[in-house]
Amino acid sequence: MEVGACLRAIFKEGKMATTSDFRNGLVIKLNDEIYTIVEFLHVKPGKGGAFVRTKLKKVTDGSVIDRTFRAGERVEDVRLEDREMEFLYRDNNLLYFMDCETYEQHPLTENQLGEGLKFLKENTVVTAKFHEGEPLLVELPFFVDLQIVDTDPGLRGDTASGGSKPAKLETGAVIQVPLFVKNGSTVRVDTRTGEYVERVSP
């Protein structure tokens, strides 16, 4: 993708949110640490006040904690700046990305990529979430096209969608694909679910 195709969207500075604003993926600050909400559940017991159970993922190291909030409790809602960045290369446990607008390079850790790491290949343009000039999180495109490098041969002439088999992608990830997909084929993968979508080329 050309640099000119990279877009930038700037959001407002952080503000206070309440538990009614909670949603998966919301970024909040607690005790000077930044977390994303992984899960939440509103609970209204028969006695006592309502509360919200959450699982929070720390952005810096990927650790997950359980935290309970009183209903209506206020937290700092961290508003992030979206920037398009291109993945350049990996150096040990760091992955280097280039800001499509400034050409500045940023090293990120595997934890900042999360599950999307297994579908990331060089030159992929991703959306990075910045806070105070530093990238916190990276989101891959919803769909990526990757080549199959290792899978067992399917049945000759089998184009049915009923059966499936494991297939290793060029990034090292293993997904389930239809029996007719073969080595060298390029397939489209949903990065949110890790599922095969369609065959792009034979």
Give residue-wise pLDDT tens across range 146-188.
999 999 886 555 555 568 899 999 999 999 999 999 999 999 9
Type of residue found at 53: R
What would the two tokens of residue 8 be? 């930038």
Query: Are 75 and 15 a contacting pair, CB within 8 Å?
Result: no
Structure letter (DSSP) for residue 186: E
Single pTM value for the model? 0.70
b/e for 104-125, b at 16 or more Cβ within 10 A?
A: eebebeebbbbebbbbbeeebb
- Would you call 19 helix, strand, or coil by DSSP? helix
Q: Report all structural domains of the chain as residue ranges with CATH numbers, in order of start.
A: 11-77 (2.30.30.30), 82-139 (2.40.50.140), 143-201 (2.40.50.140)
d(CA 62, CA 80): 18
pLDDT at 8: 35
Give the chain's length: 202
- C-alpha distances (whole Å) from 154 to each of 66, 87, 89, 158 are 45, 33, 34, 7
Token couple for 119: 């579908």
Q: Which helix (H) or strand (E) holds 112?
A: helix 110-113
pLDDT tens digits, 46-99 = 888 899 999 998 887 778 999 999 999 999 988 888 999 999 999 988 999 999
Nearest CA-CA partner of 85 in 135, 132, 35: 135
